Amino acid sequence: MYKVAKDIDTQVLCDTIVAGMQENKAKDITVLDLRGIVSRVADFFVICSGDSTVHVDGIQSTTMRHVRKEIEERPWGTEGKGGSEWVLLDYVSVVAHIFYKDARSFYDLEDLWADAVRTDIPNID
């Protein structure tokens, strides 16, 4: 498995991603701790929703900017920026999933990774 550049602690990276999402009022943030799952693809998934495609784009931009500013980390890859239904920011050990609310319920990653330890973050109003 790849290492995160500069060996940033995965919990710090996860917390920084959550804070970046909160800056743009992302909804229903959920952190899935996958470290206890043998076949995991990352240590954490951070999942959130936006109210519109514009909101999804804004969350993505704000999250990337916040992580870069706070811990000088950039995603190794991004997917889905064109359609804004599901944007993925791949930081290797932490993967951020930013969904348009309808797409989130369709893909239901929380159920797919139900063996993970789940933490729901309260919405900021």
Q: Which amino acid is at 9?
A: D
Mean pLDDT, the chain, integer? 91
Cα-trace Rg, the chain: 13
Whether the pLDDT of residue 72 is over 60: the answer is yes
Q: Which amino acid is at 84?
A: S
**Hey, what domains does the chain have and what are their CATH numbers?**
5-117 (3.30.460.10)
Task: Write the CB contacts of 91 (distance below 8 Å, at least 6 apart in sequence).
Answer: 4, 13, 17, 67, 73, 75, 76
pTM: 0.90
pLDDT of residue 84: 75
List beta partners, residue 99.
49, 86
What is the per-residue pLDDT across 23-71, written as a single tens digit (0 to 9) for each?
A: 999 999 999 999 999 989 999 999 999 999 999 999 999 999 999 999 9
Do 45 and 109 form a contact (C-beta atoms < 8 A)? yes
